[in-house]
């Protein structure tokens, strides 16, 4: 089968341009992913904002942990703090003397 000259040149052009065209498409995809993808450059600001929020939460939890650690140290069975024991026992047992004034902190 003999093809016209224009069809033969068209196929030759397609064969020569096919690999570079596919390569350009792949490079375009990766460039798009690098800039606009889920881990791209434009999401960097969002990651920084999320990091700041998480660090604030971590600081809050560290403060709570330090408070709890202090309370646990005050209730150490080897030498419990009498004021802490008195406070907790009165709170749990709901025992108050008539001349005492209770100031709720919660």
pLDDT-derived band at 66 (thresholds 50, 70, 90) equals very high
Q: Is the pTM of this model over 0.85?
A: no
What gap in Å lies between CA 93 and CA 106, rounded to an integer?
A: 18
Mean residue pLDDT of the chain comes to 84
Q: What is the mean pLDDT of residues 67-86?
A: 83
Determine the pLDDT at residue 43: 86
Residues 97, 103 contacting (CB under 8 angstroms):
no
Cα 82 to the center of its chain, rounded Å? 42
**Sign of torsion over alpha carbons 93, 80, 106, 52:** negative
**Sign of torsion over alpha carbons 76, 81, 86, 87:** negative
Residue 50, pLDDT > 90, answer: yes
């Amino acid at each position: 089968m003999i093809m016209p000259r224009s069809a033969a040149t068209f196929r030759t052009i397609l064969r020569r341009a096919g690999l570079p065209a596919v390569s350009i498409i792949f490079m375009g995809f990766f460039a798009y992913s690098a800039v606009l993808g889920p881990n791209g450059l434009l999401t960097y600001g969002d990651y920084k904002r999320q990091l700041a929020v998480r660090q604030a939460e971590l600081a809050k939890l560290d403060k709570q942990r330090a408070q709890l650690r202090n309370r646990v140290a005050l209730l150490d069975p080897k030498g419990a703090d009498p004021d802490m024991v008195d406070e907790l026992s009165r709170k749990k047992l709901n025992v108050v003397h008539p001349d005492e004034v209770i100031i709720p902190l919660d």
